[in-house]
Structure 1
Amino acid sequence: MSLSRTMLSVRFHQTGGPEVLRVETLARPEPQKGEVIVRVLAAGVNYADLVRRRGDHYPVPTPLPFNPGCEFAGIIEDCGEGVDRSRIGESVIGANIQGGAYADYIAVEAKTLMPWFEGLSLEQAAMLPIQGLTAYLALTDAGMLTKNDTVFVQGATGGVGSLIVRIAKALGAKRVIAGVGHESKIRLALAAGAEAVVDYSKSDWVDALRAASGGLGVDLVMDATSGGILERGIDCLVPNGRAVVYGHAAPTDNPVNVTRLLEGNLRVTGFFLGYYHVNRPDIVVAALKSLEGLIKRGELDLVPAKVLPFAKAEEAHRLMEQRNSEGKIILVPSNRMEDQNG
């Protein structure tokens, strides 16, 4: 089968708001040694994409012009030197910290790809390489979740947060308390499996969190803000409690109260999935297998909140930036949307 020499790609030539995203026609990439070309069938939208588009701090450089997208599902359509060509046609999922997934094709190292197991839709498969693995490993490896834990999940209706709620329940956490930023999201948090929900737009939300924990406090705080919500969540930890920070959506200049950590024997742990993909691929593979087991046993349901064509990447970013998305946003090639609608 002959591949198209061109492709559609979403790029930005300068940092800024969602309006800097453009759909452009580019030459299809050629596979280098050890690489494959994947035809992208679904790409996950992640907060990291917004961070890089805005020009905020990110662990790796963002050269301009830049094609965002670090999470995808698709089919191998070409192989570079050193890659067995029998892999052509293989269904895969992947994560690429260098971006490139908001496009019809992406060139990636073959060894970084993971199998896309049966029973998943394209959109569900694209939820796993970044957000699914972040939720699972932040809980289990960084957070050391146990079945005796009461867990507080901040941002519980977002892409990662909603998965953390579902996975914590699937793994048998004693109690999961969801944190949301508006009362309109309470229903969604309960539907994800939370036993209780606190609305931290209310001034008394810390009291509500303590009450939801039976007055005891929580064992584990899962936080994506690095801001005031984290600081106040730490105040609700039981002795020997843990807090995992997996994002910095609303950072503040206020340092964590070290005295509180010392007196409570508390631990605050940062989590960055990119470290695992680069340094501990064995843990990534094991986590993916665990997620596969949860899904196949019906203990974890993956439900994308919204599916949009690449041409509406600007809308997808606005929805996430304004916190008007509830769950995971997926982008797909425009021709896939046309096939589904026609």
Structure 2
Amino acid sequence: MSLSRTMLSVRFHQTGGPEVLRVETLARPEPKKGEVIVRVLAAGVNFADLVRRRGGHYPVPTPLPFNPGCEFAGIIEDCGEGVDRSRIGESVIGANIVGGAYADYIAVEATNLMPWFEGLSPEQAAMLPIQGLTAYLALTDAGMLTKNDTVFVQGATGGVGSLIVRIAKALGAKRVIAGVGHESKVRLALAAGAEAVVDYSQPDWVDALRAASGGLGVDLVMDATSGRILEGGIDCLVPNGRAVVYGHAAPTSNPVNVTRLLEGNLRVTGFFLGYYHVKRPDIVVAALKNLETLVKRGELDLVPAKVLPFARAEEAHRLMEERNSEGKIILVPSNRMEDQNG
């Protein structure tokens, strides 16, 4: 089957709110040396996409006009020079830090692709390359999770947070305490496997966190805000406790109390998945294999919270921006939505 010469792509020509996203018809990319063309079946929506759309700080440039999306599942349709053409037809998942996944096709370095293991839909597979691996590696590699740990998970009903709760339980953490920003999300956090839930919209939430830990404190804090929730979590760490920061969603970052770190012999570690993809692909491959094992054992469910067509990317961004989504949001080409609904 010959490839279409054109494709639909979601882009923004200026930074701003979700309304700057627009669907455009563009020429399909051609593969360069070492690249493949992947027909995108599903793309994950991540907070990084919102940061770049707003014009916020990101480790790599965001040239305008820009097509967001760094996480996808699809099928290899063409190969550039230096790539074995027998790979055409292969089902893959990928993380592409430069973006481009909100489109029918994406050109990507062949080395950025990973196998898409059997038994998953495209929507489920697209949960793995960024959020799935972030949850697993932030917890196990950066956080050094043990079975004796009591873990506090901030943003426990979000895409990464809900996976951290599930993975921590699957790996045998002693106790998982979920943190949510509204009482309406308590039920969802408990359904994900948390033993207790703390609502940090309440003024006494730090006391509630201590109480939920049996008055002992927590061993590991998993934080995506870098704000006041991180500060409160650190205050509840036991001696030799750890905190992992894998995002900065808070409007402002609170300075870490260094005296508290010294007195408690505490460790605060930053986590950026891009480092692992570039510098330690061996760890990424091993983590993906471990995630596959958890899924196949039935110990980890991959269920997107919402699946929308590319044409509704603005809605997807609003849902995430306004904290009105619980779990992972997936975008798919319009023809896939038509096939599913038809």
TM-score (norm 2): 0.99
Identical counterparts, % of pairs: 94
Instruction: Indicate yes or no: 2:20 matched with 1:20.
Output: yes
Which residue of structure 1 aligns with residue 108 of structure 2? 108
Instruction: Indicate yes or no: 2:291 matched with 1:291.
Output: yes
Q: Distance in 2 between matches of 1:18 and 1:319?
A: 10
Q: Any idea what SS the aligned residue of 2:325 has? A: coil
Instruction: Indicate yes or no: 2:128 matched with 1:128.
Output: yes
Q: Is the 8 A contact 1:133 1:273 kept in 2?
A: yes
* Cα offset, 1:112, TM superposition: 1.3
Q: Any idea what SS the aligned residue of 2:73 has? A: strand
* Cα offset, 1:254, TM superposition: 3.2
Q: Is the 8 A contact 2:226 2:253 kept in 1?
A: no
Residue deviations 1:71-102 (CA, integer Å, cap 9, x gap) = 00000000001111110000000000000000
Q: Distance in 2 between matches of 1:233 and 1:154?
A: 9
Which residue of structure 1 aligns with residue 228 of structure 2? 228
Q: Is the 8 A contact 1:307 1:332 kept in 2?
A: yes
* Cα offset, 1:122, TM superposition: 0.8
* Cα offset, 1:255, TM superposition: 1.1
Q: Distance in 1 between matches of 2:121 and 2:193?
A: 22
Q: Is the 8 A contact 1:226 1:251 kept in 2?
A: no
* Cα offset, 1:306, TM superposition: 0.1
Residue deviations 1:261-293 (CA, integer Å, cap 9, x gap) = 000000000000001001110100000000000
Q: Any idea what SS the aligned residue of 2:209 has? A: helix
Q: Is the 8 A contact 2:226 2:254 kept in 1?
A: no
Q: Is the 8 A contact 1:83 1:110 kept in 2?
A: yes
Q: Distance in 2 between matches of 1:22 and 1:221?
A: 38
Instruction: Indicate yes or no: 2:37 matched with 1:65.
Output: no
Q: Distance in 1 between matches of 2:229 and 2:84?
A: 49
Q: Any idea what SS the aligned residue of 2:40 has? A: strand
Q: Is the 8 A contact 2:142 2:269 kept in 1?
A: yes
Residue deviations 1:40-78 (CA, integer Å, cap 9, x gap) = 000000000000000001111100000000000000000
Pairing of 1:116-265 with structure 2 (within 5 A)? 116-265=116-265
Q: Distance in 1 between matches of 2:22 and 2:278?
A: 30
- The structure-2 alpha-carbon separation of the partners of 1:4 and 1:253, relative to structure 1 and needing over 3 Å to count, comes to closer
Residue deviations 1:139-197 (CA, integer Å, cap 9, x gap) = 00000000000000000000000000000000000000000000000000000000000
* Cα offset, 1:252, TM superposition: 2.8
Q: Is the 8 A contact 2:33 2:80 kept in 1?
A: yes
Q: Any idea what SS the aligned residue of 1:222 has? A: strand
Q: Distance in 2 between matches of 1:87 and 1:296?
A: 25
- The structure-2 alpha-carbon separation of the partners of 1:222 and 1:253, relative to structure 1 and needing over 3 Å to count, comes to closer
- The structure-2 alpha-carbon separation of the partners of 1:91 and 1:15, relative to structure 1 and needing over 3 Å to count, comes to same
Which residue of structure 2 aligns with residue 74 of structure 1? 74
Q: Single out whichever of 262-271 and 245-254 deviates more from structure 2.
A: 245-254
Q: Distance in 2 between matches of 1:165 and 1:232?
A: 19
Residue deviations 1:291-316 (CA, integer Å, cap 9, x gap) = 00000111111110000000000000
Residue deviations 1:14-57 (CA, integer Å, cap 9, x gap) = 00000000000000000001110000000000000000000001
Q: Distance in 2 between matches of 1:13 and 1:246?
A: 28
* Cα offset, 1:251, TM superposition: 4.8
Residue deviations 1:211-251 (CA, integer Å, cap 9, x gap) = 10000000000000000010011000000000000000005
Q: Is the 8 A contact 1:95 1:112 kept in 2?
A: yes
- The structure-2 alpha-carbon separation of the partners of 1:300 and 1:253, relative to structure 1 and needing over 3 Å to count, comes to closer
Q: Distance in 1 between matches of 2:238 and 2:231?
A: 14
Q: Any idea what SS the aligned residue of 2:29 has? A: coil
Q: Is the 8 A contact 2:219 2:241 kept in 1?
A: yes
State the number of aligned residues. 342
* Cα offset, 1:323, TM superposition: 0.2
CA RMSD, 1 decimal: 0.6
Q: Distance in 2 between matches of 1:87 and 1:229?
A: 46
Q: Distance in 2 between matches of 1:254 and 1:227?
A: 5
Runs of 4+ residues over 2 Å off in structure 1: 251-254
Residue deviations 1:118-153 (CA, integer Å, cap 9, x gap) = 011111000000000000000000000000000000
| Unpaired runs of at least 5, structure 1 | none
Q: Any idea what SS the aligned residue of 1:238 has? A: strand
Q: Is the 8 A contact 1:123 1:304 kept in 2?
A: yes
- The structure-2 alpha-carbon separation of the partners of 1:191 and 1:253, relative to structure 1 and needing over 3 Å to count, comes to closer
Q: Distance in 2 between matches of 1:67 and 1:131?
A: 19
* Cα offset, 1:253, TM superposition: 4.7
Which residue of structure 2 aligns with residue 280 of structure 1? 280
| Unpaired runs of at least 5, structure 2 | none
Q: Any idea what SS the aligned residue of 2:78 has? A: strand
Q: Distance in 2 between matches of 1:71 and 1:252?
A: 27
